[in-house]
Amino acid sequence: MPKAELVSRYPEISRTCAAAMRSCYSSWPAHSLFTDRSVFPESEVNRMLKKAVELGHMDIFEHGFLTWIVEASQLEVLNSLMEHRFLYVSEVGADRWLVTATIRSLLDTKGSSNPLLRELQKYLDELAPWISTQPEQSQIKQSPKEGYPEGTQVWLLSYTDFASLSGAVDVDPERLLWHGGFTFSLSGVSRSLTHQLVRHRLAAYSQQSQRHVAVAKGRAWYGMPPGISGAAAEEYRNFMDSAASLYAELLGRGIRKEDARFILPNATLTHITMTATAWEYRRMFSQRLDPAAQWEIRDVSWAMFSLAYIVLPSIAELEDPARSMSDVRDTLRRLLPILDESRNRFSKASPGDVLEIALPSDLLSHPVSAYLIKHRASRV
């Protein structure tokens, strides 16, 4: 019979998933919900997750990674992969495997007769205690935020403790990138950016819904491309004001938000939560740090890269096309010493601390703020 030992898990994995879900139906981005326990208490976390299961909104349970050392035969592992393909598996010895999954994998295969999957599911009550308990009724009422006065923000919300994971099992550093990852919360970004972001398909996304959340009033609801200036900028703002007026008029006539949103442009600001393996992020950075990439996603990618580097420096070993570009190599030579200083600050921070990582202003086409939450070292 297969045996599994949990060796790595996302910190506060339930809170990460719940914040991602709640942000879809709120003017609050995931990082605001995650960090503000007065706005989003544990009772609300448990209620949201239980509701997600009841409604079948299973995608939000993909925001976080769990890794086991498994003792099983090759045939048992193969049979598990044939039944459920969303497992990352690496051989680390004779009949010994590193297996990574998400809570969704455990929920999707609940009731399976497969011995390995049943062994992994033994951890479900520990990882998701809200499944079998009745959550308290939350009394918290969220007041809506108006606009996005904070500008573009990139938060590394949660992440795998790669140092502890590599200490628990001897695995090739390249394969390690498949067995953990990062969850980012992005706010004050345009729909144009998120349309590009979701093309990186080996990832989980939770985005603010225009069907359920009305666009904020005032000029803070849209972004202004840096390439538009002068008279063109004034015409741009006038057009946006007209779109906002018509949007408000449609809502005032009783038109549903899901229909009124059809007039909103790509510049409309939103927030989105993204989770992927370190391998997928490195692949994304290798494409989006290219100077030829669109300015907004390039700026956000530099911020995401910088935060990921502080946790996992090997993320800087990029692939082509970025690896072969002199502009990218020159930027890395200048940026990495700055990030190494931030890594030193991060190592001395206490669990729960939030660190802002200052990015060189000449690196970006528009202002982007980058933040990182210090979590406790992984202990399972």
**Which among 282, 303, 278 is positioned nearest to 369, based on CA atoms?**
303
Torsion of CA 339, 345, 349, 353, to 10 degrees: -50
Rounded distance, CA 243 to CA 245, Å?
A: 5
pTM for the whole structure: 0.94
CA angle 31, 370, 292 (to 5 degrees): 120
Task: Give 222's DSSP letter.
Answer: B
H-helix or E-strand spanning residue 150: none
Instruction: From first to last of the 380 residues of the chain, give the pLDDT tens digit.
Output: 999 999 999 999 999 999 999 999 998 999 999 999 988 998 899 889 998 998 899 999 999 999 999 999 999 999 999 999 899 999 999 999 999 999 999 999 999 999 999 999 999 988 988 887 665 555 455 555 544 457 899 999 999 999 999 998 888 999 999 999 999 999 999 999 999 999 998 999 999 999 999 987 776 899 999 999 999 999 999 999 999 999 999 999 999 999 999 999 999 999 999 999 999 999 999 999 999 999 999 999 999 999 999 999 999 999 999 999 999 999 999 999 999 999 999 999 999 999 999 999 899 999 999 999 999 876 66
Place of tokens 């592992």: 77
The distance in angstroms from the start CA to the end CA of the chain is: 22
β-bridge mates for residue 208, sequence order: none
Catalytic residue among 9, 261, 288, 298: 288
Contacts of residue 349, defined as CB under 8 A and 6 or more positions apart, other chains included, come to 355, 374
Annotated active-site residue 96? The verdict is no
pLDDT digits (tens, 9 = 90+) for 43-90: 899 889 998 998 899 999 999 999 999 999 999 999 999 999 899 999
Dist CA 24 CA 270 (whole Å): 10
Contact call for residues 367 and 152 (beta carbons, < 8 A):
yes
Q: Do residues 222 and 267 make contact, with C-beta atoms less than 8 angstroms apart? A: yes
